[in-house]
């Protein structure tokens, strides 16, 4: 597990690898959050890595949701964005995808950490803003 460092010096993002995806994925935190300007504690890093390590579960759910709307689309994960303050009990992650059938807008969704429930779904911007 590599340290998660998301701050102003790296534009609040870093690249990570996910086994189900061939390309690098960006992990980022919204700079609208107070947490973006604080060091991420070991406990919160573990919470974030726990979500990332469960990617086989949430990625399948996310891609299935996109396929409901765009059945023949190719889908590629681009970004995981932390959308909630890190001191909140349940984290919310924004998941952003490139989609072959809508290259201009892509698709995005918000997923709750605790139960992987898809809170919101729409164009890619959904994954970027809380």
- Secondary structure letter of residue 67 according to DSSP: H
Q: Going from the N-terminus, what domains does the chain have, and what CATH number goes with each? A: 16-127 (3.10.450)
Residue closest to 127 by CA, chosen among 21, 17, 27? 27
Q: Which pLDDT belongs to residue 129? A: 81
Instruction: Return the closest-CA partner of residue 99 out of 79, 77, 84.
Output: 77
Burial 30-64 (b: 16+ CB within 10 A, else e): beebebbeeebeeebbebbeebbeebeebbeebbe
> pLDDT by residue for the chain (130 residues), tens digit each?
789 999 878 899 999 999 888 899 999 999 999 999 999 999 999 999 999 999 999 999 999 999 999 999 999 999 999 999 999 999 999 999 999 988 888 999 999 999 999 999 999 988 888 7
Token pair listed for 93: 């992650």
Q: What is the pLDDT of residue 77?
A: 96
Alpha carbon distance 84, 81 (integer Å): 9
pLDDT given for residue 121 in this prediction: 96
Q: Residue 14: its pLDDT value, please?
A: 96
For Cα atoms 63, 88, 128, give the angle at the middle one, nearest 5 degrees. 40
């Amino acid at each position: 597990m590599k340290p998660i460092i998301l701050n102003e010096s790296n534009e609040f993002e870093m690249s990570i690898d996910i086994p189900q995806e061939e390309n690098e994925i960006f992990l980022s935190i919204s700079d609208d959050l107070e947490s973006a300007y604080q060091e991420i504690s070991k406990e919160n890093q573990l919470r974030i890595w726990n979500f990332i390590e469960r990617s086989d579960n949430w990625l399948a759910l996310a891609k299935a949701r996109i396929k409901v709307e765009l059945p023949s689309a190719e889908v590629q994960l681009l970004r995981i964005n932390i959308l909630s303050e890190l001191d909140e009990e349940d984290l919310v992650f924004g998941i952003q995808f490139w989609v072959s059938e809508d290259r201009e807008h892509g698709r995005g969704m918000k997923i709750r950490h605790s139960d992987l429930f898809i809170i919101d779904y729409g164009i890619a911007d959904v994954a970027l803003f809380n």
